[in-house]
Amino acid sequence: MGARGRRFFRTQFAEKRLPTLGEINAAAPDTPVLILHLYDRALLNAAALRAVGYTKDTPDPPGGAIQRDASGNPTGLLIASPAASILYSTLARSPKLPFDYQLNSTRHFMRDLNRLGVTSVIDAGGGFQTYPDDYAVIQQLHDDGQMTMRIAYNLFTQKAGEEKEDFRRWTARAKYHQGDDNFRLNGAGEMLVFTAADFEDFRMLRPDMPANMEGDLEGVIRILAQNRWPWRLHATYDETITRALDVFKTVNRDIPLDGIHWFFDHAETISERSIDRVAALGEGIAFQHRMAYQGEYFIERYGARGRGHPAVQAGARGRGEDLGRNRRDPRCLL
């Protein structure tokens, strides 16, 4: 993709709106451009539609919608309806740079973070980031001594229904903390099982996780606990967190989790009771400042729930930044 844009909100612009597809096509008629807005939509110009291969015959993927004109041709607007998988899958369809270009661009990205004072990051995995194939670039930079950041990475399952197989294979072939201080395996997550992954588009109704969530999640947690692998779990809503905590409690009775670090990512609506349950098990919550971008949408749907993240109100001291979705300047978080 020639240009990608993210980490913005409509009210940041003087017009207080997103750019139109007409404006994007006029500004970049030939260069593929994809603009990702939060987790709810993406705007592609005509060149980008050609690059990813979306045509009149392309079906809408599950959980997403391709807006079409009166003739059925894609306009360039993709809607997460309700999940963001259409956004991730579209990014995955974009043309890949040659390997040496990927090495060079990754070095530039690391140096840009260095410029902002960032020297260490944790890679929480991501959709369509397959281990170990999609880690070849950073592995090469590490082997060549060209890392300017310390990176700890988590393994993120990629295909619904095959999560247990993924983690069985990875725990058999890889060891927790393998690597060195500059590049190290950090555990599992943030996707452990697809049935436990609630989305974070506050313009949509909160999703209800399916009845088989607990059984799917327990199978993976048992594999991780048996191999003493830490994990992180994406969970936006307290309803999801409560059910996940029940699973952790069940596994803890058979395989003590003492000494295995785990935490929830995001947790915007976590309750005081769930915070206490997390604390009782000795683990934590990682949260970010995405309410700076989605807070208006959250309040429209759920109303104001106090000032700030529930974990901050409860006295938490740690927090984090999602470089892939928000501004990468850590001063925005602080």
Q: pLDDT per residue over 26-40, tens digit each?
A: 999 999 999 988 888
- Which of 234, 296, 302 is closest to 267 using CA atoms? 234
- In angstroms, the CA 227 to CA 214 distance is 20
Q: Where are the alpha helices (DSSP H) in the chain?
A: 21-27, 46-52, 85-93, 99-115, 136-143, 163-173, 213-226, 238-254, 272-280, 291-302, 310-313, 330-333
Report the distance separating Cα 245 and Cα 95, nearest Å. Answer: 40
Q: 320 pLDDT exceeds 70? A: no
Annotated domain spans of the chain: 3-93, 99-333
pLDDT tens-place string over residues 231-283: 999 999 999 999 999 999 999 999 999 999 999 999 989 999 999 999 999 89
Q: Are 96 and 128 in contact (CB under 8 A)?
A: no
- The pLDDT of 172-183, averaged and rounded, is 96
Please state, rounded to an integer, the average pLDDT across all residues of the chain. 89
pLDDT digits (tens, 9 = 90+) for 139-165: 999 999 999 999 999 999 999 999 999
Is the pLDDT at 94 greater than 70? The verdict is: yes
Check: CATH 3.20.20 for 3-93? no
Please report, rounded to a whole number, the percentage of residues in the chain having pLDDT higher than 70.
Answer: 90
pLDDT value, residue 84: 85
Q: What is the pLDDT of residue 168?
A: 98
- pTM, to two decimals: 0.89
Write down the pLDDT at residue 9.
75
pLDDT top residue among 158 and 329: 158
CATH, domain 99-333, list 3.30.565.10, 3.40.50.1000, 3.40.50.300, 3.20.20.140 = 3.20.20.140
The structure tokens listed for 107 are 């070095």
Predicted confidence band at 317 (pLDDT cuts at 50, 70, 90)? very low
